[in-house]
Chains A and B, each alone.
Chain A
Amino acid sequence: MKYAISDALIITKRQLMLLVRVPEVLIFSTIQPVMFVLLFRYVFGGSISSGQPGGYVQFLMPGIFVQTVAFTLAGTASGVAEDMTKGLIDRYRSLPIARSALVFGKTLGDSALNIVVLLVMGVAGFIVGWRPHSGFFKLLFAFIFLLAFGYALSWIGIFVGLTARDARVVQNVSFLVTFPLTFLSNAFAPTTGMPKPLQYFAEWNPVSTMVAATRQLFGLTNKFGVTAGSYPSQHPMIMSLVYMIIVMAIFVPVSVRTYNNSAKKK
C-alpha cells in the first residue's frame, strides 16, 4: 500500500485541524497539568522532603511530565470512541485507504498535541523555578523519551476507545487506570515513605521507571527505599523502553485488528 503513510498523515492533519478549530481542547489539556504543577509546587511541595538540590520543583517536574503524557491514553480513547458513536469510523472503513491509516494517524495526531502540551508545561515549570541542568541534548532526549511513552500509551487508548460501549464511559475507565498508576509511583513523592509492599509495586510501575528515567536525564539522582538495588531502580531507562516495546508489541496489532473488525455499535 503505497498510500499507507500519506493516508495516515492526512488523518494526523485532521487531528491537528481539530486543535485549531476547537482550541478549548488544547487549553484544557494544558490547564490541568499546569494546575498540578502549581498545586504540588506551592501546596504540597513544602511538606514533601525530596532531598533534591534546587528544591521540590526539580523533583516534581519529571513526575508531572510523565503524568501528562500518561493521560494521552484517555485523550486518544475518548477521541476514538466519539468517532465510533458518530459513525465516522464506518465512513473511514468504507474508503479505499489502508486499514492501518486511521489508527496510525490518530496516534500521531495525539503525539503532536503532546508536543505542544509539554512545551507549555516546560515554560510553566521554568516560571515556578524548574531549572534542568543536564544540557540541551539530554533535555531534548528526555522530551523525545516522554513523547515515545505517550505514543505507546495512545495505542492502548485506541483499543479502549474501539471496544468501549459508550464514549462517556471511556473517560472514566481511562482515568481509573491512569490515576492510581501515576499516584502509586515516585512521581510526586519519594517512594521511601511508602509501606514496603507498596514500594515494590511502585518500583515496577512503568510510571515510576519513566519518572526515574526522566529525572536521570534532567541530571537528578533518584532515591529509593527498599527497592534501591532492583533492576528497574538501577536501569529505569532500559526498563521504560522495555515497557514501551511490550505495550506496542501487544497493542499495535491488537488495535489495528480491532479496528478492522470494528462495527459501529448502535
Chain B
Amino acid sequence: MKSVLAEHLIKTYRKGHVRALDGLSLDVEEGTVLSVLGPNGAGKTTVVRILATLLVPDSGNAVVGGINVIAHPEKVREIIGLSGQYAAVDETLTGWDNLIMFGRLYHLNQKQAETRANELLERFSLTDSARRPIKTYSGGMRRRLDLAASLIVKPKILFLDEPTTGLDPRGRQEMWEVIEELVKGGVTLLLTTQYLEEADQLADDIVVIDRGKVIARGTSDALKRQVGGEQLEVVVDHHNIQATVEIVARVSGAKPVIDEGLRQISAPVSTGAVALIEVLRSMDGAGIHPLDIALKRPSLDDVFMSLTGHLAETEPEVEMTKKRRGRKS
C-alpha cells in the first residue's frame, strides 16, 4: 500500500514566474523510507509543505494515508508528523513546556501529555535538559526536541524536511540514530535532504529532484549503477606502472586511465570483486606489490552530476531568498 502519493504536482509562485514544482510525482510504500534528494531550490520543501497540508498546489493530486490532502487536510493532520527545517519550538519555554503544550494541542489530557513527554524526553536523551529553556539547547538538541514534538501522537507517517541541515557531524550522527530507530518502529518516512550521504544512509528509495521535477528514482545502489559500473583503482610503484596497466587492461577489457602523479591506474570493471581477485592474482604472479587497491562505487555526488550536469551545490539558499525578495518588493 502506498502511504504517500503525489501525482503531477504543480506549484508556481509570483504569478507563475517561478515554478517550484513542475509536474512532480512520487510515492512512498507503507513502512519504508523515501528520501527526496536535491539541491536548494529544487522544490523539496514545497513538496513536503503540500503533503503536510500547509500549502495547496496549483494542480495535481496528493494522498496521504489514503486521505486526499487537498479535500480533507484536517484529517491528514491527525495522522502525520512534521518536522521542518527550523526547529519550530518555542525558544523561551522549556523542552517540557513545549511537549506538554503540543500534547495538549493534540488533545491529550494533562496526565497523558505528561506521560508522553517523559517517554519522548527519555527516548531522545533530553530528560536532563527538560526544565531548561530551549534557547540554551544545542542545535542538535533543538532538532531532537522538534522531532519529539512531531511524534507526540505516534504518527504513522512522518515528514522530515532537511532534518540535519545546519547540524555539526555529531549532531547529525545522533539525529540519524534517532531516525533509524523510528524507522525500525515501522513509521513511513519521507525525508528531504541535500546530503547525498544522508539519503544513502537512511533511505530505502531515493528520488532525485531538480527544478521541480523528478529526474531519477531508485535504490541507492540502482542509482549508482545507472551512472556506470564499479571502478577498479590500483596504486603501484613507478617502475611497476607499465606491467600493472597491462594486467588491468586484460581483466577490464577497457583502456585503463593512468595518473602518473598518484601512480594510480584505474579502469571500469563489470565483474566487481572477481575482477579484483583476478588482478591481484596476476600482480602477485608478476611479483608486483600493490600500494593500494580498491573497488570504487560511484558516489551519489557522481550520480547527481551525471543526471543534472551540474553539482548538487548550486546557489546557497540565503542568496536565493534575497533575490526572490528583491524582485517581489
Q: Which residues of A contact B (CB under 8 A)?
A: 3, 7, 10, 13-14, 17-18, 21-22, 86-88, 90-97, 101, 165, 263, 266
Whether B88 pairs with A93 at a CB distance below 8 angstroms is no
Q: Please provide the chain B residues from 114 to 142 with a CB less than 8 Å away from any CB of chain A in the complex.
A: 133
Whether A10 pairs with B77 at a CB distance below 8 angstroms is no
The 8 Å CB contact of B97, one of A17, A22, A86, A90, is A17
A36–chain B nearest beta-carbon distance, Å: 27
Whether B54 pairs with A94 at a CB distance below 8 angstroms is yes
The 8 Å CB contact of A87, one of B52, B85, B321, is B85
Write out the residue numbers on chain B whose beta carbons fall within 8 Å of the beta carbon of A86.
Answer: 86, 88, 91
Whether B54 pairs with A263 at a CB distance below 8 angstroms is yes
A262–chain B nearest beta-carbon distance, Å: 9
B197 within 8 A of A: no
Q: Please provide the chain B residues from 73 to 118 with a CB less than 8 Å away from any CB of chain A in the complex.
A: 74, 77-78, 80, 82, 84-94, 97, 101-102, 104-107
B157–chain A nearest beta-carbon distance, Å: 12
Write out the residue numbers on chain A whose beta carbons fall within 8 Å of the beta carbon of B89.
Answer: 88, 91
Write out the residue numbers on chain A whose beta carbons fall within 8 Å of the beta carbon of B88.
Answer: 86-88, 90-91
Determine which residue in A3, A17, A91 has the highest number of CB atoms from chain B within 10 A of its CB, and name it: A91
B3–chain A nearest beta-carbon distance, Å: 17
User: Could you pull out 6 A-B pairs where Cβ atoms are within 8 angstroms?
Assistant: A3-B107, A91-B102, A91-B150, A94-B82, A95-B106, A96-B106
Whether A90 pairs with B54 at a CB distance below 8 angstroms is yes
Determine which residue in A17, A94, A165 has the highest number of CB atoms from chain B within 10 A of its CB, and name it: A94
B53 within 8 A of A: yes
B246 within 8 A of A: no
The 8 Å CB contact of A165, one of B85, B87, B133, B325, is B325
Q: Determine the residue in chain A with the shortest Cβ distance to B55.
A: A263
Whether B105 pairs with A17 at a CB distance below 8 angstroms is no
Q: Once bound together, how far apart are the Cα atoms of A94 and B107, in whole Å? A: 14
Whether A18 pairs with B102 at a CB distance below 8 angstroms is no
Q: Once bound together, how far apart are the Cα atoms of A101 and B107, in whole Å? A: 13
The 8 Å CB contact of B92, one of A18, A87, A96, is A18
Whether B93 pairs with A21 at a CB distance below 8 angstroms is yes
Q: Once bound together, how far apart are the Cα atoms of A3 and B49, in whole Å? A: 24
Q: Once bound together, how far apart are the Cα atoms of A254 and B38, in whole Å? A: 37
B278 within 8 A of A: no
B49–chain A nearest beta-carbon distance, Å: 7
Q: Once bound together, how far apart are the Cα atoms of A165 and B324, in whole Å? A: 12
B180 within 8 A of A: no
Write out the residue numbers on chain B whose beta carbons fall within 8 Å of the beta carbon of A10.
Answer: 101, 104-105
Q: Once bound together, how far apart are the Cα atoms of A14 and B99, in whole Å? A: 12
Q: In the complex, given contacts A86-B86, A94-B53, A266-B317, what are 16 additional A-B residue pairs having Cβ atoms less than 8 angstroms apart?
A: A10-B105, A17-B97, A18-B93, A21-B92, A21-B94, A22-B92, A87-B88, A90-B49, A91-B88, A91-B89, A94-B52, A94-B80, A95-B77, A96-B74, A96-B77, A97-B105
